[in-house]
Chain A
């Protein structure tokens, strides 16, 4: 059933595949982010109650959704690394953690900036904000564990266990606004049924969400490739790659007919 996946367990194949994917992901993200952000920030109508302050929604909500999405992807990678001992799964989990941490931080910071004028406070220890902060700490813990051991396999195992344990936090974040009284409002878009938002505001949001998703996919490709290179630095194919790229650099910078003719 998963036979078609087997070639990608080879680092070189995966490296080249992501290399092909990466420029397209960057282009798609640039396209959707330009459309989405221009639409959202300039043309979408202002909210009847919050005025223009609500526009932070278009960064805050995609960042929060995707921070949780990346965490879930990272946990799946950790599971497959623990059970099937795929080294590449470890590399991809290590590649995802810092990106997820940055998006969690963006969600927290934009939320605080919105909370000050709307709620009247930067921060409050309600269930939603606290569980989101715990998500940030989980990411930081996973990053720290990935870097805490000289042996990358051991590091991957330790970080993998932490990321799997942290999955419990994801439903808590999502349902915190339903299970408990919180200052944070309930879900506007990430729920079943129609979004609690007019269509003229919802469409630019979808564009932004797509744009940020492609951006994250592209960044993960980028980080995954460097991670693969770093972990396979002694392999012949990596050395060959390194030799080729230095040769090209020399040729670009000055006349090196002898090199290029070889």
Chain B
């Protein structure tokens, strides 16, 4: 390679490496803010690195699994309440509105709302979080309960 090309290659690659390092550091510094949601554990115990907890009255997103058997619907309105969990403590969510199609017990969801008590969220939006697994109905049925448990464990472990 002749010297001029070599010089250009060195310049271009050093600029790229420098920018990569800058981007990496910025993203690392922002990593807490880029997270879309808090997990229930983080609301009760604080974020892992900083111990930061959301304040009461703060608008936050919470993501977790809907606890089986915790969904209570009001027979006369769209009001619904359910518990969210990841690995530790539970957060209760109250919501008045339409739930997405994928909402069901054991499903991962992300909800946006105001923290009114330390473990009570007044939600204004409930979104379903789909996992990366795709399969036909027959296979899902044959895998049955074992599979669902495995998925829950995996998600909780994450």
Contact = CB atoms under 8 A, between A and B. Distances in A.
Do A and B interact with each other, yes or no? yes
B70 to A, nearest CB: 20
B131 A124 contact: no
A121 interface: yes
Contact of B134 (A57, A79, A126, A187): A57
A197 interface: yes
A117 B101 contact: yes
B29 interface: no
B120 interface: no
Interface stretch (A40-48, A95-103, A137-145, A250-258): A40-48
A127 B131 contact: no
Query: DSSP class of B's interface residues: helix, strand, loop or mixed?
Result: mixed
Interface residues of A, number: 40
Given A49-B102, A79-B12, A83-B8, A181 B134 contact: no
Interface in A132-179: 164-165, 167-168, 172, 179
Interface residues of B, number: 40
Contact of B129 (A48, A119, A201): A119
Nearest to A176: B34
Contacts of A45: 136-138
B60 to A, nearest CB: 12
A200 B130 CA distance: 20
Interface of B: 5, 8-9, 12, 15-16, 19-20, 23, 27, 31, 34-37, 39, 63, 98-102, 110, 125-141
Q: What 6 A-B pairs have minimum CB-CB distances, sorted nearest first?
A: A45-B136, A48-B140, A120-B100, A126-B36, A48-B137, A181-B35
